[in-house]
Amino acid sequence: EVQLLESGGGLVQPGGSLRLSCAASGFTFSNYAMSWVRQAPGKGLEWVSLIGASGTITHYAESVKGRFTISRDNSKNTLYMQMNSLRAGDTAVYYCAKDQSVTTGDMDVWGLGTTVTVSS
């Protein structure tokens, strides 16, 4: 079964840091680009970042550029997001998602999310 399982969320103070992980199983992880998408409480979906299959290409939303770093370890089938200088506006459920193929940017597999709360 194809599965993504996020972890690492929690309560952090403004200015603090957190590292999210996403463990993948059921597919050849190293073949697919992966994204983080977040959803603030009661709000819509916001794409945050993407990393290419080999890890050499990355893209970020302006709202997190310079503060968040996406990475992956294909030997461990795991995606990461290092989040620094966290703000209240970063409070959200963070989902990891898999690109369906190398030629499209739709995301066909999603995890259940991990909650990040930035508050003093």
Partner 1 sequence: EIVMTQSPGTLSVSPGERATLSCRASQSVNSNLAWYQQKPGHGQAPRLLIYGASTRATGIPARFSGSGSGTEFTLTISSLQSEDFAVYYCQQYNNWPRTFGQGTKVEIK
Q: Which residue from 8, 16, 59, 67 is in contact with partner 1, where contact means CB under 8 A? A: 59
78 binds partner 1 (CB under 8 A): no
46 binds partner 1 (CB under 8 A): yes
Contact between 49 and 71 under an 8 Å Cβ cutoff? The reply is no
Q: Which residue from 34, 111, 116, 118 is in contact with partner 1, where contact means CB under 8 A? A: 111
112 binds partner 1 (CB under 8 A): yes
32 binds partner 1 (CB under 8 A): no
Map tokens 């963070």 to a residue.
Answer: 94
Q: Which residue from 35, 51, 72, 94 is in contact with partner 1, where contact means CB under 8 A? A: 35
Candidates 10, 38, 15, 24; CA nearest to 85 is 15
Concatenating the DSSP letter of every residue in 37-104 gives EEE-TT--EEEEEEE-TTS--EEE-TTTTTTEEEEEETTTTEEEEEE-S--GGG-EEEEEEEES-TT-
Q: Which residue from 11, 25, 108, 119 is in contact with partner 1, where contact means CB under 8 A? A: 108
Q: Which residue from 61, 77, 84, 87 is in contact with partner 1, where contact means CB under 8 A? A: 61
Which positions lie near partner 1, rule CB under 8 A? 35, 37, 44-47, 50, 59-62, 95, 97, 100, 104-108, 110-113
